[in-house]
């Protein structure tokens, strides 16, 4: 299954929700009954777009923007209860604490699967696995090998591996493969399971009129299969250390700027084969999502390059990105590529011109509109139909938390512009976003629930208490669905069949 045409997606007004799958409760995993329950809630509420953050496997900091792979799915999403239904696990095995035994149980299930002991519906069989492996050969082998070595070495990153493994010596890799067949089989099986369950969820959502909206971080983590297997495509020294680091200068997200830690691309090397690595990355995401956001789109025009020897963001400088040459390659391969440009932060005219040349929708955020300037692009009267409007993003406080933190002057500006006293916040902001001419209005689930700062998902520039908020189903789903549906209908955001 591939993604829909971008023009089709923006030919009608829609309402969306922003919720990462890790926010869904479920000790056995989230891609089964838990995710289907959320889809049912969205369908009952008139929401037709579900936006997530990147869904790859994470490091210990849990950030979805620092994944171990640009292609793989997060194995922690796998719903283990569906392995029970497929005859690959037993009730007694699932009775133990899953968080402590997930890897072991997946190993048991993999052994039974490859022994032909259990089979599931809709391609959860050996023939389906063979098809999956053939279609994903361009990334799957490197990822499985990287993940297996990482487990055995128990090291903080591939730079600390023994030199033959670090530098991908063929003989050393073959010895490792020969000695770790069952581990590699388990990791391949995990990715097959993730893809199978994700596609089942995507079908379930699509059958209820809901599209899935994904997110591609422009950069990848240094400790990733992508960098380890493709060192020539990144700005690294002979030992594999980054020579320059990605980040951003000071902006309204972070007054000191941000040091992201990601290595930067060697765009000249990437251009040498027509950006094949990126085209493969887009291919992976097209099979998972109907709509795809490129995070930090401005990095394609110019990116903030921080010297590794002086890692403070203020010592960085702008370096030219691949711009038109890159995007032309993308749309030449995928003419209907459904891309959205994340154009928040310090955005120069040339970045916006690049976005508009390729007719890419951009983003507006209600919380960013109240600096006192009537020309602020985030104010309702400056919105454009093909763009997206958000009450807030995963990097912001919740809208209620934001409103409560405003100084008196800014709060009066908000109230005057929206015609509200602030009562019932954040619903006046949600209603305004739905009223916007933007074709897609997206609301974080925390805002629909009216939650405060305690439900904030991420605070940029910090490394604690991020990515851990979870949805509590202890609210009246019917009452909230009715309220959302009324707002969706009131503002013409319920697509007609």
- Report which of 145, 444, 401, 460 is spatially closest to residue 153, judged by C-alpha positions: 145
Distance between CA atoms of residues 382 and 402, nearest Å: 22
Distance between CA atoms of residues 306 and 364, nearest Å: 28
Q: Which backbone phi and psi does 235 adopt, to 5 degrees?
A: -85, 90
Q: Which residue has the tokens 């908020």?
A: 469
Q: What is the β-pairing status of strands 14-18 and 244-248?
A: unpaired
Catalytic residue (choose from 82, 226, 290, 342): 342
Distance between CA atoms of residues 190 and 170, nearest Å: 25
What is the dihedral angle through the alpha carbons of 34, 37, 39, 41, rounded to the nearest 10 degrees? -140
Active site residue 395: yes
Compute the C-alpha angle 94/180/188, nearest 5°. 55
Question: In this structure, what DSSP letter does residue 424 have?
Answer: T
Helices of type H across 334-476: 349-357, 399-405, 408-418, 427-435, 445-448
Catalytic residue (choose from 169, 280, 295, 352): 295
Distance between CA atoms of residues 62 and 73, nearest Å: 14
Active site residue 169: no
Q: Which residues contact 153 (CB under 8 A, 6 or more apart)?
A: 160, 161, 162, 165
Distance between CA atoms of residues 360 and 352, nearest Å: 10
Q: Which residues of 449-473 are buried (b: 16+ CB within 10 A; e: fewer)?
A: ebbbeebbbbbeeeeeebbebebee
Structure tokens at 152: 């055995």
Catalytic residue (choose from 40, 280, 305, 395): 395
Structure tokens at 387: 């763009």
Active site residue 497: no
Distance between CA atoms of residues 311 and 259, nearest Å: 7
CB atoms within 10 A of CB 331: 15
Q: Which backbone phi and psi does 389 adopt, to 5 degrees?
A: -120, 140
Q: Catalogue the E-assigned strands of 205-257.
A: 211-217, 244-248
- Residues of the chain by 3-state class (helix, strand, coil), percent to 5: 45, 10, 40
- Report which of 150, 149, 198, 247 is spatially closest to residue 30, judged by C-alpha positions: 198
Q: What is the CA radius of gyration of the chain?
A: 23
Terminal Cα distance for the chain, rounded: 21
HSE at residue 247, side-chain half, CA atoms within 13 A, is 27
Catalytic site positions: 295, 342, 395
């Amino acid at each position: 299954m591939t993604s829909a045409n971008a023009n089709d997606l923006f030919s009608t007004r829609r309402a969306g929700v922003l919720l990462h799958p890790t926010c869904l409760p479920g000790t056995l995993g989230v891609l089964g009954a838990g995710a289907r329950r959320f889809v049912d809630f969205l369908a009952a509420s008139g929401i037709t777009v579900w936006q997530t953050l990147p869904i790859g496997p994470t490091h210990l900091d849990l950030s979805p923007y620092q994944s171990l792979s640009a292609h793989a799915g997060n194995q922690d999403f796998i719903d283990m209860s569906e392995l029970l239904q497929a005859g690959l696990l037993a009730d007694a095995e699932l009775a133990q604490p899953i968080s402590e035994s997930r890897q072991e149980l997946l190993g048991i299930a993999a052994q039974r699967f490859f022994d032909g002991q259990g089979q599931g519906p809709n391609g959860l069989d050996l023939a389906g696995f063979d098809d999956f492996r053939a279609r994903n050969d361009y990334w799957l082998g490197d990822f499985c090998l990287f993940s297996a070595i990482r487990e055995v070495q128990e090291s903080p990153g591939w730079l600390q591996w023994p030199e033959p493994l670090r530098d991908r010596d063929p003989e050393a890799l073959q010895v490792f493969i020969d000695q770790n067949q069952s581990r590699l089989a388990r990791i391949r099986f995990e990715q097959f399971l993730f893809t199978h369950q994700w596609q089942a969820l995507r079908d379930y959502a699509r059958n209820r009129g809901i599209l899935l909206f994904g997110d591609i971080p422009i950069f990848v983590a240094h400790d990733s299969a992508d960098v380890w297997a493709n060192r020539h495509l990144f700005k690294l020294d002979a030992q594999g250390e980054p020579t320059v680091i990605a980040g951003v200068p000071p902006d309204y997200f972070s007054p000191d700027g941000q040091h992201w830690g990601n290595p930067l691309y060697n765009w000249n090397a990437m251009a040498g084969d027509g950006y094949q690595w990126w085209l493969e990355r887009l291919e992976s995401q097209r099979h998972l999502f109907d709509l795809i956001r490129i995070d930090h789109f401005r990095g394609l025009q110019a990116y903030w390059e921080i010297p590794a020897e002086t890692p403070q963001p203020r010592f960085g400088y702008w370096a030219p990105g691949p711009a038109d040459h890159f995007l032309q390659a993308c749309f030449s391969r995928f003419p209907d590529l459904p891309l959205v440009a994340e154009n928040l932060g310090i955005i120069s005219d040339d970045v916006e011109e690049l976005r508009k040349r390729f007719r890419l929708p951009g983003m507006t955020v209600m919380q960013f509109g109240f600096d006192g300037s009537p020309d602020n692009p985030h104010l309702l009267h400056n919105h454009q139909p093909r763009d997206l409007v958000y009450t807030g993003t995963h990097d912001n406080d919740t809208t209620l938390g934001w409103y409560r933190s405003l100084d008196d002057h800014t709060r009066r500006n908000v109230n005057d512009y929206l015609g509200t006293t602030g009562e019932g916040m954040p619903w006046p902001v949600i209603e305004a976003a739905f009223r916007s001419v933007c074709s897609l209005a997206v609301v974080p689930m925390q805002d629909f629930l009216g939650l405060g700062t305690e439900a904030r998902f991420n605070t940029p520039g910090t490394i604690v208490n991020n990515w851990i908020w979870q949805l509590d189903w202890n609210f009246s789903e019917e009452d909230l669905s009715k309220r959302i549906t009324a707002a969706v209908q009131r503002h013409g955001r319920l697509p007609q069949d």
